[in-house]
Amino acid sequence: FTGKAVDTLISEKITDIKVDEIKATPVIVKESTSVYDAIVTLFLTDVGTLFVSDDEGNLQGIVSRKDLLKTAIGNTNTHQIPIGVVMTRMPNIVTVTPEESAYEAARKIVDHQVDALPVVKAVIENGQEKYKIVGKVTKTTITKLFVELGKN
């Protein structure tokens, strides 16, 4: 033991760990997916947030449990509403990159009061900046990391 304070060791650890090492597999759907199918997808894949991409895997939006509940409770026909009209859309999405730290990701989740962040890589396509979805970091990801760190 180097004599360093324990909190210093913990903070070094969580800033050393990169998003790339902890990211989970995102569930991605198309903008044309119906609210009904999105809800079914939430249950089948056991996630709370769906990411929305175009055919090239570029981030377009994000749909949370409450976005879907809000639509469903209005008892409109959820088969006929595409998630494109209920999702939160780019550029209003908080993202992280694989190179950012686990600490940065956790801080964004807390500061922006969201459950999940898409992990993205910026690319230029046809002169436009696009963001490829390469993973996700959620409250569960951070909790699992916390448990892992507690083991040692």
Which residues make up the interface to ligand ADP (CB under 6 A)? 49, 62-67, 88, 92-94, 114-117
Contact 28, 51 (CB under 8 A): yes
User: Quick one: 92 or 152, whose CB is closer to ligand ADP?
Assistant: 92
Quick one: 18 or 48, whose CB is closer to ligand ADP? 48
Amino acid present at 108: K
User: What's the min distance (Å) between Cβ of 90 and ligand ADP?
Assistant: 9
What CA–CA distance (Å, rounded) separates 45 from 28?
A: 11
Q: How far apart are CA 119 and CA 137, in angstroms?
A: 7
Q: Residue 20 Cβ, how far from ligand ADP at the closest point, in Å?
A: 18
In this structure, what DSSP letter does residue 83 have?
Answer: G
Given the complex with ligand ADP, which of 99 and 148 has the nearer CB atom? 99
Token readout for 37 is: 């199918």
Q: How far is the CB of 142 from ligand ADP (least distance, A)?
A: 13
